[in-house]
Structure 1
């Protein structure tokens, strides 16, 4: 293909642009640089790299003249111009996380478990907190700990032993008892028995296997303090998110109680260097118990601690609408009248330290509140509430804060989908008055405040959903100024002095090259690199597929692109490629870094006489809230009917034979392929499902619970969204490909579906397993094998 420039970054002084590149196809990439005045790339030699000063990640003062840095475990003040360093600490302990106080007469920093303040000009060092460990599982990391990390992404449960007995015996839940384990595990066991006849038979014969499990123990340590001050007890919880107010009066922190009983999945690795099968501890499944947390305030002056209250949060007890479909659950939860579990990020303090903002997110992800914190009382007052009966999301919107910050000491900015698209808002934290700065049927992403706090910079798809441009906008509002002019994909790195744009630019059939441009509307973008396409790559006339839009059956605009053959096959077949990742965009006027293999494969299919289609179906990124959440409680619903509607366009406009339409895709695209063949066999006669989710009840929590809630709370959503429940509908030819050490969509998922197909006596399917591949393939031999099989499937099934 050639070499595309990657890892683009600026030097701190804005004099150089660094990037990784390999124009001569060497064994490994090299690091290059240019300057705005000299755009000829220069290779940085190993010696030059060794002599380059290390990048300083410091905290600037207000005048941007001095930096606080950590160096070899001590705190220094650095003057970047003179390179003079003034040492503030010199201990055997590590000091970290330095920050200036409001008038820059003190520096706050962390040492061990606690925070300290040192007065500059030879003053006093004061201890601000006195955290005391306690309990068997207390841990005290000073870095923020993301909520739900244990449940969504990894195992806090120990290794579960696999079931014993004769070869081929089924593995059951703890002790095999139907009523043991937590609610999630009981639900999964009941589902297994409902799905698989063989498991029922073996259970009746008493041959069902059993698992034994445990949990990782968490290290405990002692702590103490000779001087008397309020002891902040951590007990058996995790301490994180410690924030010192700019005036040093308040220290906020979060205590997290890790969930117990979250059983982890195990991924066996069969082809190993040891010659033995080795187990990979993977993630938990959706519905596993979640961690919970509380935020506290310690008042340094008053030497007292109190909890941040959530009772004043509007709607803290609100139940989601879906519960109305479950009368018993509705009755029980209404009677309990419990506050919903939430996570809190921040506080984010104004520069003068007088105002603090906390981002509160409901654990069910139906609400995101922006709240003003009264640190003296621990009470919260509402600035903005975003409620979504599906789930909160979109560009710049996150339970970890998102694109937020201060314009001045009283105005706070954030992004919201209140209008249906993610746009910029500013709120006066004293009056509560909000102002929307951008609007329209397009989205803001990558929001950045200028150095002088007078302008915003952001990326947006204002001109077309598939075109990304870079904009500048006054913080007071107005018309955004478009700074880029090349149609396609513009990935921009703004120089620290904000005078230049380093742009990675691409088009549909042209990989990324590096350009540089002055930070002015209408300025010319000067091309820097020209090796993204090799001579061999250029020798082929790569199609730029036709991009079009159509109305789906619900009246929404859906965008697609089509590769048309010059010489269609007599059978007039079509192939539909489905992008993965759920919330991702594929129909764009830029080179796809995720799907360049598929782009080339689709060109090959078109050369051979196939018409090839890709669409940004309901749930894709770039189209606002309604498209983003259109699959809520029914995956394989609107997203699938969008594809069926698109196939009708292929038939009517492009002359495709409706009996010869195939589909392929990976991950979510693999799931979609299964749903297409199982529930719409009259439209799709062949499909290749790659690394597919076959049952959402067995996927992770962080992604799945947003869309389908939890399986034991919303069984309806899971039943109608999981392909394994519709496997009896298979009529066409199905190929499945899956990595055996996939720690994202576990190999167990495809094996469960295979068992179901066996029990249903289906024989028009095959499985290709890849022993050394995870979710994203790495080995060229695996990619080649997979696409040879996909090609052979379509050749055999769609040429009739």
Structure 2
């Protein structure tokens, strides 16, 4: 009997690893072991009640653009399969349809330029003929079909071209484009980064005119980076980069007449030192809209331009004591009245204006924000949108009439919902996730929101994670001693013991209008936090003042003082956290990337008695080194607001350093230049402060490629374990 008991015990011990909870590893995180399944490059068709998805056959190394029916979700067919075309051997990087949806522009062999911009080989694919024709012998940028699908405009070498689909003839429509001097129809670096668009031209509704923005960069100062590569001598990359207070590109608006072959410059009015962050043709083929904003970005005019006479008319003006956000939600209805979103009542809401700019209705109202505008159904008069009405960390999809009545919440699960609507607005594909539910895709009715059918789920991933003993992300609100209520989440060890004392690592980003405390599924960093929790750490995140989705006053309190109130809130939140009985007050750290690195650097200095360690990745260390559009929106120029720049610069507080500080940067960061870290290092050295730092050769702001992320996160993990 004793022998039998011992045998059973040995057998159970042998089996115990099978039942043991697995620990997350950095290798798994950065090899994509926890990647969710999705619907890649999903696009709703405009002329049929269908949608397309870019699918990948990994074993065959091929891509397919597959067509599906919205009502049934059944696959209708495959429009393109790369296995039939040697020209597409590198795969499909992106695709767009002609207006009649009979042809497709396909990008392949893409080469990234900056964050959004890229060069690629583009092909025109005829769906019925199954033919593939190369657009240009060279790689080009931002090709777009004309309204009738007979022509394609594109950018190449800082000039604009028009390609005739039938004749295959190409016409160059601008000739003065020159690197680091003049750009036509494609944005400069700062517009791309801060106004988040690359294609600075637009076809009108009849396809006979192209409006474009011309950028004269001649007077903009240049920035040069060393690219070390594999050669004996490093190369250099030089580009125009307007730092705060420096000269911007001089922009002008032009309209090209395709039939006449002539170009007209549009005199927008008595503006000086201004931006044109958006242009868009209205439903009237001869009326162009342009958003023009002053350098302080606190006065925005929506201008309608008569393409024939060139006469501009201001139809709408937005002003703010701090700044006005540019909207992408401008939508023209059949009568050329338009939808507009604005924060003018203190929260971002939807407005309806006549074609002359007269306010017809404020469609949404309340102490909550509209976060996405999906479209207008002219047959029912309904508008579809996303908002945070169900709590600032959640997102829901709603329907409301154009007159602001009959609002219906179309999603019923608490978390983050987003939608892609069918062309007839009868259905929408809802993407849902929460902190406890991996992403799902479902077909829903636009009438009442009821689920029609599930498309994709991630139950397999959910089951896999069940074996990892992953803790739950807990959402809460922290009230600081100053009385500020701040959204927060905590990740505690799975075997959390309230009688123990735990070290805490705080994470934040904190940039204006941003949000890190959101009820959605894990990103890659979350798995790192779960891994740290398995190692006995509590990870916390707090969204302080200046972050988004809680109204304009909460967001804009940081105006002219970036790094003051946000840093106060992180320090004050930490002071609340260290009072928790289960927190070791001597072991609190903080980390962040980019704006978050600026914050964590300030926190370890201004909060030296609170934070034991900090990690700053790619930080801004003085806003004087950052670009004009972003920085001046929140600080004005250094010439006007020197103290706003310098009093909150971590460079000027290095003497306060007490704890452990790790500083990390990529040497080829075109966004937050390595200059920021080098100046910080010099200040620390001259203050005789000890610190750790790492430079990643030829890596940009994202610091990735090959094993880079694995090595980076291993370094940060080791630093946390050693110093916290």
**TM above 0.5:** yes
Quote the RMSD (CA, aligned, Å): 4.9
Please point out which of 80, 85, 98 is paired with 1:58. 98
Q: Does 1:461 align with 2:388?
A: yes
Give the paired residue count: 647
**Deviation of 1:559 (Å):** 0.6
**Deviation of 1:369 (Å):** 1.3
Please point out which of 412, 430, 449 is paired with 1:485. 412
Question: Does the CA contact (< 8 Å) of 2:274 and 2:292 recur in 1?
Answer: no
Which stretch of structure 1 is more off in the superposition, 573-582 or 454-463? 573-582
Q: Once the two structures are superposed, what CA deviation does each residue of 1:528-585 show, in whole Å capped at 9, x if it has no partner?
A: 3336617543302322222112445665542111123413685543221113765432
What is the aligned partner in structure 2 of residue 204 from structure 1? Answer: none
Q: Name the SS of the counterpart of 2:386 in structure 1.
A: strand
Matches within 5 A, 1:123-522: 144-146=185-187, 149=190, 241=201, 254-269=213-228, 272-281=229-238, 284=241, 286-287=243-244, 288-295=246-253, 308-311=266-269, 339-343=272-276, 345-346=278-279, 348-351=281-284, 353=285, 356-373=288-305, 378-393=310-325, 397-398=326-327, 402-430=328-356, 432-450=358-376, 452=378, 454-522=381-449
**Deviation of 1:284 (Å):** 2.2
Question: Does the CA contact (< 8 Å) of 2:621 and 2:651 recur in 1?
Answer: yes
Unaligned runs of 5+ in 1: 61-65, 86-91, 101-105, 119-128, 155-238, 317-338
Q: Name the SS of the counterpart of 2:365 in structure 1.
A: coil
What is the aligned partner in structure 1 of residue 146 from structure 2? Answer: 98
Q: Once the two structures are superposed, what CA deviation does each residue of 1:758-797 show, in whole Å capped at 9, x if it has no partner?
A: 111112x111333364322335744344334434444444
What is the aligned partner in structure 2 of residue 549 from structure 1? Answer: 477
CA distance in 1, matches of 2:521, 2:210: 47
Q: Once the two structures are superposed, what CA deviation does each residue of 1:599-647 show, in whole Å capped at 9, x if it has no partner?
A: 2232233344433210122232333323333322222211111112222
**Deviation of 1:19 (Å):** 5.2
Question: Does the CA contact (< 8 Å) of 1:516 and 1:528 recur in 2?
Answer: no
Please point out which of 473, 487, 492 is paired with 1:564. 492
Structure 1 residues 784 and 569 mapped into 2: Cα distance closer, same or farther (>3 Å)?
A: farther
Q: Once the two structures are superposed, what CA deviation does each residue of 1:38-63 show, in whole Å capped at 9, x if it has no partner?
A: 76999989968649999772225xxx
CA distance in 1, matches of 2:207, 2:230: 57
**Deviation of 1:97 (Å):** 4.5
Matches within 5 A, 1:642-681: 642-681=569-608
Question: Does the CA contact (< 8 Å) of 2:417 and 2:432 recur in 1?
Answer: yes
Question: Does the CA contact (< 8 Å) of 2:202 and 2:281 recur in 1?
Answer: no
What is the aligned partner in structure 2 of residue 9 from structure 1? Answer: 42
**Deviation of 1:134 (Å):** 7.0
Question: Does the CA contact (< 8 Å) of 1:578 and 1:665 recur in 2?
Answer: yes
Q: Does 1:690 align with 2:617?
A: yes
Q: Name the SS of the counterpart of 1:659 in structure 2.
A: strand
TM-score (norm 1): 0.69
Higher strand proportion (structure 1 or 2): 2
Structure 1 residues 424 and 49 mapped into 2: Cα distance closer, same or farther (>3 Å)?
A: farther
Q: Name the SS of the counterpart of 1:726 in structure 2.
A: helix
**Deviation of 1:725 (Å):** 1.2
Question: Does the CA contact (< 8 Å) of 1:691 and 1:745 recur in 2?
Answer: yes
Q: Name the SS of the counterpart of 1:539 in structure 2.
A: helix
Question: Does the CA contact (< 8 Å) of 2:176 and 2:182 recur in 1?
Answer: no
Structure 1 residues 554 and 414 mapped into 2: Cα distance closer, same or farther (>3 Å)?
A: farther
CA distance in 2, matches of 1:514, 1:135: 45
Q: Does 1:775 align with 2:701?
A: yes
Structure 1 residues 356 and 601 mapped into 2: Cα distance closer, same or farther (>3 Å)?
A: closer
Question: Does the CA contact (< 8 Å) of 2:202 and 2:280 recur in 1?
Answer: no
Question: Does the CA contact (< 8 Å) of 2:248 and 2:628 recur in 1?
Answer: no
Unaligned runs of 5+ in 2: 1-32, 107-120, 131-136, 166-170
Structure 1 residues 723 and 624 mapped into 2: Cα distance closer, same or farther (>3 Å)?
A: same
Which stretch of structure 1 is more off in the superposition, 11-20 or 712-721? 11-20
Question: Does the CA contact (< 8 Å) of 1:355 and 1:410 recur in 2?
Answer: no
Q: Name the SS of the counterpart of 2:529 in structure 1.
A: helix
Structure 1 residues 517 and 262 mapped into 2: Cα distance closer, same or farther (>3 Å)?
A: same
What is the aligned partner in structure 2 of residue 63 from structure 1? Answer: none
Question: Does the CA contact (< 8 Å) of 2:187 and 2:215 recur in 1?
Answer: no
Q: Does 1:537 align with 2:459?
A: no
Question: Does the CA contact (< 8 Å) of 2:619 and 2:672 recur in 1?
Answer: yes
Q: Name the SS of the counterpart of 1:511 in structure 2.
A: coil
Structure 1 residues 470 and 601 mapped into 2: Cα distance closer, same or farther (>3 Å)?
A: same
CA distance in 2, matches of 1:27, 1:738: 38
CA distance in 1, matches of 2:527, 2:590: 16
TM-score (norm 2): 0.75
Structure 1 residues 152 and 285 mapped into 2: Cα distance closer, same or farther (>3 Å)?
A: farther
Question: Does the CA contact (< 8 Å) of 1:573 and 1:657 recur in 2?
Answer: yes
Q: Once the two structures are superposed, what CA deviation does each residue of 1:76-126 show, in whole Å capped at 9, x if it has no partner?
A: 9x9x9xx599xxxxxx9x9974336xxxxx9898799799999xxxxxxxx
**Deviation of 1:461 (Å):** 1.7
